[in-house]
Amino acid sequence: MPVSAQNMAAGAQPLDKLDLAIGKALFKRPWVPAPASTRGDDGLGPLFDARSCITCHPRDGRAPAKIEDGTAGRGFVLIIARPDGSGDPVYGRRFQIDAVPGIPPEGIIGVSDTPLPDGRIARAPHLQALGYGPLDPASGLSLRVAPDLKGRGALAQVPDAAILAIETEQAEGNDGVSGRARRITRPDGTVAIGRFGWKAAQPDLASQSAEAFFLDMGLSNPYHPEPWGDCTPTQSACRDAPHGTANRTEGTADDALEIGRPLLDRVVAYVASLPPPEPEPLPEPQRRAGARLFASTGCAVCHRPALPTRDGGQAHMFTDLLLHDMGPGLGDTMPEPGAGVSQWRTAPLAGLSEALAADTGLLHDGRARTIHEAIGWHGGEAAEAARRFGALAAPDKAALVRYVSSL
């Protein structure tokens, strides 16, 4: 039976299992610079962060997010933007650490970790070995880890109405929690509800995947047709470098793209087919006790265990898909239209057990090493839930951490 890709373009044909296999192969494919002997593999860059999707999403999961000698490893991305949402006039919207031969990379992502008296670590990015001069003073930075992709197809199936109903419910409450759905204005002027990305900047898997192809690998696609990726006009050598469109002289406009609609649709379908992560098994009494504590401390207000889906099912992902102000401790220096520096979409907790096992670090920039540390960074709207956690008796606190660690 055909398997429909989530969020495919209107009118696109349903994709079958072979298409999903192709999408998986494309997800793993290492792209190469142009020109190449095989036109289907070229077009990487000229600036890029990774050669393949799987580089930052190993086993479809969260990036390793390792820091070595104060330098961010693969799986981190550094977003750059000015308050109006535009990119830096020289470095664009992404600070790329790699480039094709003959083109200077933009530099190195440095990371400053500052130990705090309570044992937490404050983390901030800084730029090193700048390849194109100074950053614009108005440009802000946001360091982020590539997230787990499993279960995102289920989140794509949550109706906008369900997200907006939670927004209304929280606005009418008196517990200090008042999440906000992010409204995204599309190029055609229509408004969609954002749900993907650390700040809910993308409304669907197609736009999220297209942005990753464009900014992280420099591959043009239907959403971002520029063949030079994130190269700005001031990076003239970058713009003049060979692109994957050089040997595409026939067919439709889509055929001239490095990632045309058929390829993008199959990658999106593959990502959408990934089921939600399975939690670690717990003895039923432990699971029930943990779930009760999760609710009574207020964690479940934002990390909702399940959301309804259009097919009558549920997405068991532990998120409300809303933006929440998490306090200045988690703020970065990059406000953007529709999201403040300390506002973050509630991160899905499904898959947390895998992240802990892989030691990826927690939160948007991987700074937290444990559940305790992650909760310690919860301020703003989450401050009361963090206070309730801290007030628990030691056995209850351990039971709640064990429950959350199993998700």
Residue 9 has pLDDT above 90, yes or no: no
Which pLDDT band, with edges at 50, 70 and 90, does 96 fall under? very high
Report CA-CA distances (Å) from 318 to 255, 292, 300, 351, 406: 40, 14, 8, 10, 12
Residue 243 confidence (pLDDT): 84
Both tokens of 43, joined, read 């077009």
Residues sharing a CB contact under 8 Å with residue 239, sequence separation 6 or more, in sequence order? 46, 228, 231, 233
Q: What is this structure's pTM?
A: 0.93
DSSP of 165-217: HHHHHHHT-SSS---BPEEEE-TTS-EEEE-BSTT--BSSHHHHHHHIIIIIH
Distance between CA atoms of residues 281 and 279, nearest Å: 6
Is residue 11 scored above 90 in pLDDT?
Answer: no
Residue 77 has pLDDT above 90, yes or no: yes
Mean pLDDT computed over every residue of the chain: 92
Q: pLDDT at position 35, please?
A: 76
Q: d(Cα 195, Cα 159) in Å, to the nearest integer?
A: 11
**What is the pLDDT, as a whole number, of residue 10?**
38
CATH superfamily of 275-405: Cytochrome c-like domain (1.10.760.10)
For residue 13, the tally of other CB atoms under 10 A from its CB is 12
Burial of 299 (C-beta count, 10 Å sphere; 0-12/13-18/19+): buried
Q: pLDDT at position 5, please? A: 43
Q: How many residues does the chain have?
A: 407
Q: What's the CA angle centered on 314, arms 311 and 320, to 5 degrees?
A: 120
Lowest mean pLDDT among 31-40, 55-64, 163-172, 278-287: 31-40
Residue 63 has pLDDT above 50, yes or no: yes
Query: Span 341-349, mean pLDDT?
Result: 98
Please state, for a pLDDT cut of 70, what percent of the chain lies above it.
93
Per-residue pLDDT band at 203 (split at 50, 70, 90): very high
Q: Residue 141: name the closest of 179, 186, 110 by CA.
A: 110
The per-residue pLDDT for 187 is: 87
Per-residue pLDDT tens digits for 240-254? 998 876 445 445 666
Nearest to 48 by CA among 260, 241, 198: 241
* 208-222 residue pLDDT tens: 999 999 999 999 999
For 99-135, what is each residue's pLDDT tens digit? 999 999 999 999 999 999 999 999 999 999 999 999 9
Boundaries of every domain in the chain: 275-405
How large is the average pLDDT for residues 139-152?
97
**CA proximity to 367, closest of 124, 205, 198:** 124
Res. 91: pLDDT tops 80? yes
- Mean pLDDT for 136-148 is 97
